[in-house]
Structure 1
Amino acid sequence: MNNFLYPVYRPSLNGNEKKYVNECLDSTWISSKGKFINQFETEFSKFINIDYAASVCNGTVALHLALLALDISSGDEVIVPTLTYIASVNAISYTGAKPVFVDSLKNSWQIDPEDIKNKITSKTKAIMVVHLYGHPCNMDELSKIAKEHNLFLIEDCAEAIGSKYKNRHVGTFGDISTFSFFGNKTITTGEGGMVVSNNKKLYEKVVNLKGQGLAVNREYWHDIIGYNYRMTNIQAAIGLAQLENVNDILLKKSEIANFYQESFKNTDYIFHESIGDVSNSYWMCSVLVPDRNLRDVIRLELKNLGIETRPLFYPVHTMPMYLNSKDTFPIAIDLASRGINLPSYPDLSKKDLTYIVTSLLNIKL
């Protein structure tokens, strides 16, 4: 636990969460069976407008299952942005496949389609796009590249619940897509995730894999080596309650983002704005500081004022287990070295936001 007056994030638990969890406890359905699991999956699929949704125990295993469902394995290459949370890349490595890193776009911070084209080889089997911090990627261009090269398209939507590209929810463009419901996500189940697809066979394979490889219509018979990646009824109960309020949460987060955006105009800070015909859910509201050498100094000053911040994710190719990349990624490096995530949770008031912004702008650079 931290003692920040304004943490980077905390969930909004103002709905039926306690009521539904107590129902699980009263009924004794607390593990991976119970009515809330199917209800949550059904309502989530409706919310993003997709045919199939399979709940899982966290966002990382959702990615792992998505890759396994596509038969990604040793000898394959999967293209992925280097500027992402480590789970995106680790899930590729779990399968034995090789992650191939791609740089970011300077304006949107999302994966660079032109760099993707440069990285495609005969071993490339899939492109994993990540809607970083809630900003949708350019799905027209990415879908076109995947189709032209006969590649699977995977969407990592862990940070993008409520985000839309040309009025279509992210996660509905790829062959298979994933979401995360960790405690700091727009809606949460504590830990949890979802794998979604419009492809029934992929969905059925995910369901088989996540439930210990249990065969359909034959009790305690397992026809493949599977995993215990299931969501609990308690998690799903929380998720269903969260989903009931998701539009209110997204509206509040949009208001917070608009406040930040207006506040940083004509200053030394560059706010992460929406680029193109997109609806950004603003999982995290972020700014770039003018000089990378000032970033940690600024963060310390804010910490002393009770304001928690986070650095942008470190590019994964800089981490010890992924250092073999010979390519350079100048945009990702620049963004990561100058970026700060600001408090972005939906319960922030205008007074809170004014204090945060004023505190930041009053720091002498």
Structure 2
Amino acid sequence: MKFAELVGCRHAVAVNNATAGLYCCLKALGVGAGHEVIIPDLTFIATANSVIWAGATPVLADIDENTFNIDPASVEEKISSRTRALMPVHLYGQSADMEAILAIARRHGLVVVEDAAQGVGAKFQDRHVGGLGAVGCFSFYGNKTITTGQGGMITTDDEQIQRRCLILKNHGRTEKGTFIHHHIGYNFCFTDLQAALGLAQLTRLDHILERKRNSIELYRACLSELETVRFPAGDPRCDAVPWFTNILVDDPGALGAHLSKAGVGTRRFFHPLHRQPCYRGRWSEEFPTTDRVYGQGLSLPSSATLTEDQIVFVCQEIKNFLGFKKL
């Protein structure tokens, strides 16, 4: 299968979205009631929701300020006798520290589920994300690096995990073309039309990745003289794909409002899970790095269709807001 080849895995299972895919991954690994799954505090809410829907308990870890991904040191602190899995998220196309995460998992006998929803094209130590843990899951939502409108893909080397995910996603059937259901499953199926779109997108992936990497380099060059605009340091072991181009500034809300008036769309980082209204009271710990990064983070226009002139315009508006000279 084309996507399995891209990731470097033996198997890939298409699903209707990555949230359903993460749920299937957890259930296929036997994660459920009485288990804890450690996830980052800074992530899209589907990471936590999938754990809860699987019947397990999400435990939050703080993030690394250089990558915005889960901090291995914080993970170590959160492991308990109930911990069953680690779920690193490759946030905004930047790989988590998989070397450290996998080492922790081996040391404690845990499984690793990679939330690679935002990670198409990203690599860690020359290996594609989503192919390093026991199982990974990608998103093909409308704004992702490659898209099928909606959709997702599970990747694994384990034939049993693949088999369980296939059964779960298709009403619990163990054989195609029959109406005998040995398990209680769901309708998480990917359509033929989505598959056709996805295959077409894969033929353009190298071009899309090149465009996105060129865009962030132009952003960096145009904003390099601004000490109050900071880019994440990243990790030299990771070949990142800037799904979003992110900056840290003192007042992201005010800058975002200024850019909006100039016709430039931006968005704030994902809201920290421990501050989500629907999870109020669930976590009492403090997550200082997450709070600091969220309080300064702003995502700039990041489409692969952006022109150089458009990026220069965005950068000039940032300079206008900060009172700097014309580019």
Q: TM-score, normalised by structure 2?
A: 0.96
1:345 and 2:298 are equivalent in the alignment: no
1:272–1:285 contact (8 Å) kept in structure 2: no
Aligned partner of 2:241 in structure 1 is 281
Gapped runs of 5+ residues in structure 1? Answer: 1-41
Aligned partner of 2:229 in structure 1 is 269
Aligned partner of 1:210 in structure 2 is 169
Aligned partner of 2:145 in structure 1 is 186
Q: 1:319: Cα distance to partner?
A: 1.1
Q: 1:274: Cα distance to partner?
A: 2.9
Aligned partner of 2:82 in structure 1 is 123
2:7–2:155 contact (8 Å) kept in structure 1: no
Q: Which of 107, 119, 138 pairs up with 1:148? A: 107
Q: 1:322: Cα distance to partner?
A: 2.2
Aligned partner of 1:234 in structure 2 is 193
Question: Residue by residue, what CA displacement relative to the aligned partner does 1:67-123 show, whole Å, maximum 9, x if unpaired?
Answer: 111111111100000100000110001012110000001111110000000000000
Q: How does 1:283-298 map to 2 (within 5 A)?
A: 283-289=243-249, 291=250, 294-298=251-255
Q: 1:218: Cα distance to partner?
A: 7.0
Sequence identity percentage? 35
Query: What is the Cα-based RMSD across aligned positions, in Å?
Result: 1.1
Question: Hey, what's the Cα distance between the residues in 2 that align with 1:274 and 1:259?
Answer: 17
Aligned partner of 1:4 in structure 2 is none
Question: Hey, what's the Cα distance between the residues in 2 that align with 1:44 and 1:178?
Answer: 11
Question: Hey, what's the Cα distance between the residues in 2 that align with 1:147 and 1:97?
Answer: 21
Q: Which of 165, 168, 171 pairs up with 2:130? A: 171
1:306 and 2:266 are equivalent in the alignment: no
Gapped runs of 5+ residues in structure 2? Answer: none
Q: 1:272: Cα distance to partner?
A: 2.6
Q: 1:263: Cα distance to partner?
A: 2.2
1:260–1:271 contact (8 Å) kept in structure 2: no
- 1:341 match: secondary structure: strand
Question: Residue by residue, what CA displacement relative to the aligned partner does 1:113-163 show, whole Å, maximum 9, x if unpaired?
Answer: 000000000000000000000000111110000011000101000111000
Aligned partner of 2:312: which letter? T
Question: Hey, what's the Cα distance between the residues in 1 that align with 2:13 and 2:220?
Answer: 36
2:18–2:152 contact (8 Å) kept in structure 1: yes
1:331 and 2:292 are equivalent in the alignment: no
Q: 1:165: Cα distance to partner?
A: 0.4
Question: Hey, what's the Cα distance between the residues in 2 that align with 1:224 and 1:263?
Answer: 56
- 2:88 match: secondary structure: strand
Q: With a CA cutoff of 8 Å and minimum separation of 6, indicate the structure with the bigger relative contact order.
A: 1
1:73–1:95 contact (8 Å) kept in structure 2: yes
1:50 and 2:9 are equivalent in the alignment: yes
Question: Hey, what's the Cα distance between the residues in 1 that align with 2:80 and 2:207?
Answer: 44
2:269–2:299 contact (8 Å) kept in structure 1: yes
Aligned partner of 1:334: which letter? R
Aligned partner of 1:51: which letter? R
Aligned partner of 1:356 in structure 2 is 314
Q: TM-score, normalised by structure 1?
A: 0.86
Structure 1 segments of 4+ aligned residues over 4 angstroms from their partners = none
Question: Hey, what's the Cα distance between the residues in 2 that align with 1:261 and 1:205?
Answer: 45
Question: Hey, what's the Cα distance between the residues in 1 that align with 2:223 and 2:266?
Answer: 16
Aligned partner of 1:195 in structure 2 is 154
- 2:86 match: secondary structure: strand
1:287–1:340 contact (8 Å) kept in structure 2: yes
